[in-house]
C-alpha cells in the first residue's frame, strides 16, 4: 500500500498568522514538522500542501516537496484532496502542520490502521485539563470506532467510574477514494456547532476507526505564541540532552 504524508499549511491564521514560518531554534516550524514526518517508515513520501508562496519557497529551500493549492479551500482535508490528485497512491495521512513534536511512530500507527479501514485517527488517555475546549475528546465503541467527538467532557461521569477519558490526536488517515467522497459531502449541524470537521463523517453515516496510541503523547499544537515558546524550550532541552 502506497501512503502519502501530506502537511497542509496556510499562512493566514486568526490567532497566529504566519505560524508555519515561525522560528524554532533556527528552523521554521514547517521544516520541523516535515523532518518529523520523514522519520516515518510507512510513508512513500512527504508533501507540504500550501496556498502561500512564502511557505512554498521555504519548503523548496530546505529541500522538501511542496505543491500550491487554492486559497479558497475550507480546511486542511480539502487541501490534502486537491494535492493528492497528481500522485498515484492508495491513501493519505493528513499531518498537522503545527505539531513539531509529533512522534513519527504515530504516523506509522495510523498507516497500519489504513490497511483495513478507509478513515482512521488516534487518541490517548487524558489525565487532566478535562474542561479545556481546545482539547478534543472522543468516545469509542467496543470495536474502537468513534461514537462522537466533542470539545466538552465526554463521557460525563455521573456515577463513580474508572472509565478513561480519551483525547483525540489530530492525525487522520484516508483512503484516496474516501477522501474524494468526504470533501464532496455537505457540511453538517454538529460539525458546524462544535467546529470539528471530523463530525461530518459520523453525521453522514461513515465510520472512523480509532487506535489508542502506544506512544507517549507529548505533542503540543502551536496555536499561540505562548505555545511556540513552550515548544522552543522542549526542543532546546532535547537538543542539549543528545
Q: Which of 78-82, 98-102, 188-192 has the lowest mean pLDDT?
A: 98-102
Report, as an integer, the average pLDDT of 176-180. Answer: 98
> How many other C-beta atoms are found inside a 10 Å radius of the C-beta of residue 212?
14
Question: Are 144 and 212 contacting, i.e. CB atoms less than 8 angstroms apart?
Answer: yes
Q: What is the pLDDT of residue 6?
A: 98
Kindly report the average pLDDT of the chain as a whole number.
93
What is the predicted pLDDT for the residue at 228?
87
Q: Is the pLDDT of residue 96 over 80?
A: yes
Once rounded to an integer, what is the mean pLDDT over residues 148-171? 92
Which run of H or E residues covers position 212? Answer: strand 209-212
Residue with cell 515548544: 231
Amino acid at each position: 500500500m502506497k501512503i502519502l504524508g501530506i502537511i497542509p499549511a496556510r499562512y493566514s491564521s486568526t490567532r497566529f498568522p504566519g505560524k508555519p514560518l515561525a522560528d524554532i531554534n533556527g528552523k521554521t516550524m514547517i521544516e520541523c514538522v516535515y523532518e518529523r514526518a520523514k522519520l516515518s517508515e510507512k510513508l512513500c513520501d512527504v508533501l507540504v500542501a500550501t496556498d502561500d508562496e512564502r511557505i512554498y519557497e521555504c519548503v523548496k529551500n530546505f529541500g522538501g516537496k511542496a505543491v500550491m493549492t487554492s486559497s479558497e479551500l475550507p480546511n486542511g482535508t480539502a487541501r490534502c484532496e486537491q494535492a493528492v490528485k497528481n500522485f498515484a497512491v492508495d491513501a493519505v495521512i493528513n499531518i498537522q502542520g503545527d505539531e513539531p513534536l509529533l512522534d513519527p511512530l504515530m504516523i506509522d500507527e495510523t498507516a497500519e490502521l489504513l490497511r483495513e479501514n478507509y478513515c482512521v485517527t488516534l487518541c490517548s488517555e487524558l489525565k487532566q485539563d478535562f474542561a479545556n475546549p481546545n482539547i478534543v475528546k472522543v468516545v469509542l465503541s467496543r470495536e474502537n470506532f468513534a461514537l462522537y467527538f466533542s470539545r466538552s467532557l465526554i463521557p460525563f461521569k455521573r456515577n463513580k467510574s474508572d472509565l478513561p477519558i480519551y483525547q483525540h490526536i489530530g492525525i487522520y488517515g484516508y483512503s484516496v477514494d474516501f477522501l474524494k467522497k468526504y470533501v464532496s459531502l455537505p457540511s453538517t449541524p454538529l460539525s458546524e456547532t462544535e467546529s470539528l470537521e471530523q463530525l461530518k463523517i459520523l453525521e453522514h453515516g461513515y465510520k472512523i476507526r480509532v487506535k489508542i496510541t502506544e506512544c507517549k503523547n507529548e505533542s503540543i499544537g502551536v496555536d499561540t505564541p505562548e505555545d511556540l515558546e513552550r515548544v522552543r524550550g522542549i526542543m532546546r532541552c532535547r537538543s542539549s540532552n543528545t
